[in-house]
Structure formats: C-alpha cells, structure tokens
Amino acid sequence: MGTKSSVFDMIGPVMIGPSSSHTAGVVRIARSSIKILGGIPDEALITFYNSFARTYEGHGSDLAILGGLLDMKTDDANIKKSFEKAKENGLKYTFKSIGNASVYHPNTIKLNLTRGDRKIEVIGESLGGGIINIAEVDGFHANFSAQSHTLIIKAQDISGAIAFISSVIAQEKTNIATMSVSRKGKHDLACHVIEMDSGLQPITIEYLKSLPWVKELIYIPDIDL
C-alpha cells in the first residue's frame, strides 16, 4: 500500500480539464523539458505514442503540451488558448502520431526541442493522476518525476564520479531520493540523474559545474513551483 493521500488529493488538485493524465501530466512533461532546454523552444517536434497517438486531440493534450512548452502551469486557464499563444511567442510546432510502439508506456510523448543552437530530446510518460516520469533525456535513462529537486549532470565517465557528486550533495545535508547513472560507453559520456528531497544552494551548483570533468549540469526544482 502506498503513502496515504492528502486531503487535497481528495479536494484537488485544481487543474485544467478534462483529465489529469491528458492535461496536467502532459503540461508537467513539457515544463520539465523546457527546464532541461533552458527556455521556451523556437521549434518543437511532438510525437504522441500508442494510446496518446489517437486521443491527444480529443483530450486537448496538444494544447496542454504547447501550454507547458510556453511555461504555463497545470492550472493556467490560458492552456485553452495555447495555439494563439504559441504563435505570439514564435513557437513553431509539428505533431506526429505513432502507434504500436511496444517499448513505451501507453501514454508516452517524445519531444524534440530546439532553442538557438541547442537541441534536446526528452521522452516523458504520463502515469495517471498528473504524475509523470521523464524516462529519457538525450538518449540517457533518466526516470525522474520532477516533483522533487532534480539534478542532471552529464560528465566524463571517470572512476569515483558518483561518490564525489554524492558526497558534495551530502555536505548540504540534502537527502538523495533516487539516483540513476547511465553512459554511452566506457570512459565516454555518462549521465547522472539525481532526485533530492530538498534543494541545493547556488554555490554548490556552481561548484559542481566548475569541475573539469562535468560537461553540463541542469538543476530542476519542483516543476509546479
């Protein structure tokens, strides 16, 4: 049996209809992705898989994903106007539907986003009740919910990297909830995805960034904040 619910899971959340997995969850996937990208994209290729492939329009998931890409929160009444807002913000987008993709959760979205010369690919799953899992970032396994504080570090695959990063986090008395590390190959690029119960100070983040073997660091506080 899972953790007991809050009163405000029963009377809440306040959200944009019609369905928590098709709107709230989708908005959260998009907002997590733009935190990884570093801002609102210029261009987005949005691929809906399996169950989402057929239903995304009827449930308004197309509006929800654009709303999230424009940094709207899950209860923003403007989500309904996302097509107009995308035009105003110069966001170019393409939708694609793919069925029978057996490796993904039934409600999966892939986002290929471009901002200036930065390009990212994010795969997100809407698990129901507005809960999400970011399954992959740029081909690396990620598996984070974006509901706690998340650190994504791309670094050279050197020995001791995991111990080093976790000891720096431990200095702040921050508890690590989940951690996943994957790499392209031996001594190639590795990706550390760390979910923490509380946030890190800017100075700690800057220190980690300054390490010569750290190639990229993205810090995502709770996406609903």
Partner 1 sequence: MSYLFESFIGWKSYCEEKNMALYESVIEYEVTQKGKSESDIWKNLDKAYQVMKEAVETGLKDDMSSRSGMINNGAKKVYNHSQAVLSPEFQKLISRALAAKEVNSCMGRVVAAPTAGASGILPGTLYTLQEIHQLSDQKIFEGLLVGAGIALIIEQKASLAGAVGGCQAETGSAAAMASGAIVFCLGGSVDQIFNAVAITIQCMLGLVCDPVAGLVEVPCVVRNASAAAIAYSSAQISLAGVGAVIPVDECVEAMGEIGANMETKYKETALGGLAATLTGQEISKRVLIQDIEILPDEELPE
Contact string 58-87 vs partner 1 (x = CB under 8 A): xxx--x-----------x-x-xx-------
Stretch near partner 1 under the rule CB under 8 A, chosen from 4-12, 33-41, 189-197, 213-221: 4-12
Is 20 a residue that touches partner 1 (CB under 8 A)? yes
Residue 99: both structure tokens together: 């069925």
| CA–CA gap between residue 134 and residue 150 (Å, rounded) | 11
Is 45 a residue that touches partner 1 (CB under 8 A)? no
Is 128 a residue that touches partner 1 (CB under 8 A)? yes
Contact string 180-219 vs partner 1 (x = CB under 8 A): ----------------------------------------
Residue 188: both structure tokens together: 């190639």
In 3D space, the residue among 202, 214, 221 whose CA is nearest the CA of residue 150 turns out to be: 221
Among 41, 56, 137, 195, binds partner 1 (CB under 8 A): 56
| CA–CA gap between residue 59 and residue 166 (Å, rounded) | 41
What is the side-by-side strand order in the sheet with 214-220? 176-183, 189-196, 149-156, 214-220
Query: Do residues 137 and 193 make contact, with C-beta atoms less than 8 angstroms apart?
Result: yes
- In the complex with partner 1, which residue's Cβ is closer, 5 or 159? 5
Residue 211: both structure tokens together: 């390490």
Which spans of this chain sit near partner 1 (rule: CB under 8 A)? 4-20, 23, 49, 53-60, 63, 75, 77, 79-80, 96-104, 128-129
